[in-house]
Amino acid sequence: MTGNQVHAQKSIEIMNAWGALLQTHINSNAKLQAGWSGAGFSRAAEIIRHTGAGWAQPDVDRFTAMFRTAFVPLVGTNATQNGNWELIMTDALIGIAVFSDDRALFDQAVSMWRKRVPAYIYLTTDGPYPVPPPVGGRDTPDELVAFWHGQTTFVDGLAQETCRDFGHTGWGIAAAINVAETALQQGVDLYAEESTRLRAGLEFHADYLNGRAAPGWLCGGTITLGNIPTGEIAYNHFQNRVGVALPLMKTLLETSVRPSGSNYFIAWETLTHADVGWTGIK
């Protein structure tokens, strides 16, 4: 952003250190760890590689190999846990695909997104119950209600983790948006494919984050709020690129988010996307 080569060299130093060291992720949340770190690593690597920062080709190759061995086997598989896991994993996978110039991996990430997003954000057109997740065998009404944390009333924009807490839900929606943003820059308009669903999810949760009291039918009348520094990328696309208003998101951004910081795989969205007139499309 500043053109300061010192920052580029520090980024190269960090990536080279990990590229020479990291072999896998372990523990029960290994897939999520790989998603969190892979999303940021792939974007950083893409920037450094293509801005003349001086990253040597052997080091680029080693970093690419690290993605192949330590990330893709984890983030390229489905997750049976709450939906934010798989959406964050998909965010990492599509970033790695772009950095690696791997069309097959890119198509795999798009396929994962197309299956998980409808299972994460509900629309009444889905029917009386949400779309089942891609894996996990949660197909019956009782299984879906349990997976949706006990919620039995389904309305447009409700998410699978709404009744868990808004923080994890924010992660899931942010990851879905990140994937759509990356795909759009590669010529695939996932935003358009799920425009109604994504906008409904954004506005539904922004309403309560702006202060609306939870009705009795929603999570038993008790919701756990948690606002994370996101929303700018989605707002920039819908409002500034395609001219579709998100009034509740606008209020949330102006009163509670800007200027945004960082949170796991989310970073500095106000800096990169807030009303800068940049379409992000070449």
**Mind listing the pLDDT tens digit for each residue in 214-260?**
999 999 999 999 989 999 999 999 999 999 999 999 999 999 999 99
68-122 pLDDT, tens digit per residue, is: 999 999 999 999 999 999 999 999 999 999 999 999 999 999 999 999 999 999 9
For residue range 253-282, what is the model confidence (pLDDT) as tens digits? 999 999 999 999 999 999 999 976 555 544
Residue 1: predicted pLDDT:
77
Given the candidates 3.40.50.2300, 1.50.10.100, 1.20.1370.10, 3.40.50.920, the CATH classification of the domain at 5-273 is 1.50.10.100
Exposure b/e, 190-212, CB count within 10 A at least 16 = b: bbebbbebbbbbbbbbbbbbeee
Question: CA 55 from chain center: how many Å?
Answer: 27
Distance of CA 68 to the CA centre of its chain: 21
pLDDT at 198: 98
Burial 58-85 (b: 16+ CB within 10 A, else e): eebeebbebbeebbbebbbebbeebbbb
CA 99/CA 49 separation, integer angstroms: 9
pLDDT number for residue 276 = 62
Q: Contact 98/46 with Cβ under 8 angstroms?
A: yes
Q: Are 243 and 199 in contact (CB under 8 A)?
A: no
Taking alpha carbons only, the member of 247, 245, 251, 241 closest to residue 210 is: 251
Q: How far is CA 155 from CA 158, 202, 217, in A?
A: 6, 13, 10
Q: pTM for this structure? A: 0.96
Q: What is the pLDDT of residue 73?
A: 98
**pLDDT at 51 (0 to 100):** 92
User: Three-class SS string for the chain?
Assistant: CCCCHHHHHHHHHHHHHHHCCCCCCCCCCHHHHHHHHHHHHHHHHHHHHCCCCCCCHHHHHHHHHHHHHHHHHHHCCCCCCCHHHHHHHHHHHHHHHHHHCCHHHHHHHHHHHHHHHHHHECCHHHCCCCCCCCCCCCCCHHHHHHHCCCCCCCCCCCECCCCCCHHHHHHHHHHHHHHHHHHHHCCCCHHHHCHHHHHHHHHHHHHHHCCCCCCCCCHHHCCCCCCCCCCHHHHHHHHHHCCCCCHHHHHHHHHHHCCCCEECCEECHHHHHCCCCCCCCC
pLDDT for 25 equals 97
Task: Return phi, psi of residue 134, to 5°.
Answer: -60, -35
pLDDT single digits (tens) 4-41: 999 999 999 999 999 999 999 999 999 999 999 999 99
**Domain ranges for the chain:** 5-273
- The letter for the amino acid at 250 is K
CB 108 within 8 A of CB 55: no
pLDDT at 3 over 90: no
| Stronger pLDDT, 275 or 192, i.e. the higher one | 192
Please, which residues bridge with residue 159 across strands?
121
Question: How far, in Å, CA of 16 to CA of 33, rounded?
Answer: 19
